[in-house]
Amino acid sequence: MKTNFSAKNVGYITAGIFLLFYIIGVYWSFSVDSFDVREEVTIAATSDNVVPVVGYTTTTTLIKVATSILDKPGGYISNDALPPGVFLDNMPAWEFGVLEMVRDMALVLRKDFSRSQSQSLENIHIQKAQPQFNIDNKSWAMPSAESEYRKAIESLNLYRNALVGLSKNKDDHAQFYARADNLTSYLDEVQKRLGSYSQRLSASVGKEKINTDLAGDNEARQSSYESNHSQVRTSWWKLDDVFYESRGAAWALLHFLKAIEIDFESVLKNKNATISLQQIIRELEASQQTLWSPMVLNGDGFGVLANHSLVMANYISRANAALIDLNELLRKG
């Protein structure tokens, strides 16, 4: 018996498929909840039957943050080549923001936190993990981004095991040095990242930028000429991408700073800088408030509509200003 599909039936099926993709896409786009850093450390330490040492908290948090972009609803979406993931842009932007902070932490862990002085040897596990986080975030071919990130996470697990003496190789030693100069190296990286996000978010309404690239140095030069004044404005199509990328970066940094508050407790107390760090954490927590609007609004100045990009820029700028003060305190305090 032959079944004839009318145009109406085809339309119903098509509409159903689109509705299904839409529902899945909305579910995959839900924000990832923050987690309790101390609780995660307790769970990991209990599972391994170890007592956390200096660096255990920061490493565990890095592992958890990196795992979050892989194991959230929908998994890692940035390199999806099929619907509905290929049609989503907010969550991939969020993933990239998180990934940028993961890369910064992995780099500083390799260069500074795991090394005592400039002449010390690199830890073999971090040496493997750090470049693996730098693969193209949109790579889906072999090797895929997910597979490289999971290899990096496995190397971080081996480093953490070596920190607490769980390594099967007796010659596998690892250290984490919670020193003021090491911490300032990380904060230097974060300052540049937050400064960039603040500028990009503020450009949502368009602004005239004064070129200060060579300010403060009469002998400074640059490779090509740039005008002293330029008009900067984020494309309307990129507003939500910049917003969610910044939100993802702030989410990751929030957890890293909470871990630093634990591992660098003695350093922060010695510099009387604990309150300064906690203030930065408060600003970043505010940046994670629920976005009730179905889209990122872009009101102009003091107009009727809100401008979510400027609100986010405010929190990130305040966090960055406090971060600069904290860095100076660590260096001179």
By the 8 A CB rule, do 283 and 318 touch? yes
CA distance 125 to 183: 21
Tell me which residue has tokens 């406090």.
322
Q: Do the domain assignments include residue 14?
A: no
Q: What is the pLDDT of residues 118-133, one digit of tens each?
A: 667 889 999 999 999 9
Dig out the tokens for 122 from the structure.
């690199």
Shared-domain flag, residues 273 and 153: no
**Number of domains forming the structure of the chain:** 2
Shared-domain flag, residues 164 and 243: no
CA distance 104 to 276: 21
Q: What is the pLDDT of residue 60?
A: 97
Half-sphere CA count of 137, side-chain side, radius 13 A: 18
Predicted TM-score (pTM) of the model is 0.89
Q: Do the domain assignments include residue 140?
A: yes
By the 8 A CB rule, do 315 and 219 touch? no
Q: What is the pLDDT of residue 88?
A: 84
Show the domain range for 309: 178-207+228-333
Half-sphere CA count of 214, side-chain side, radius 13 A: 11
Tell me which residue has tokens 């839409």.
22
Tell me which residue has tokens 């940035």.
78
Shared-domain flag, residues 331 and 202: yes
Check whether the bond before 73 is cis (ω within 30° of 0).
no
Q: What is the pLDDT of residue 236?
A: 67
Residue segments in the chain with a per-residue pLDDT below the cut of 70: 1-5, 118-119, 206-220, 223-233, 236, 301, 333
Q: Which of 71, 78, 73, 115 is nearest to 96 (CA)?
A: 78
Angle CA(176)–CA(268)–CA(47) in degrees, nearest 5?
A: 45
Helix (H) or strand (E) segment spanning residue 232: strand 229-232
Q: What is the pLDDT of residue 1?
A: 46
Q: What is the pLDDT of residue 226?
A: 65
Shared-domain flag, residues 195 and 318: yes
Q: What is the pLDDT of residues 203-235, one digit of tens each?
A: 887 665 555 555 555 666 776 666 655 556 677
Burial class (CB in 10 A: 0-12, 13-18, 19+), 140: middle
Q: Do the domain assignments include residue 25?
A: no
- Look up residue 4 and give its DSSP letter: P
Q: What is the pLDDT of residue 272?
A: 92
Q: What is the pLDDT of residue 268?
A: 95
Dig out the tokens for 331 from the structure.
């260096």
Task: Determine the straight-line distance between the first and last CA of the chain, rounded to whole angstroms.
Answer: 86
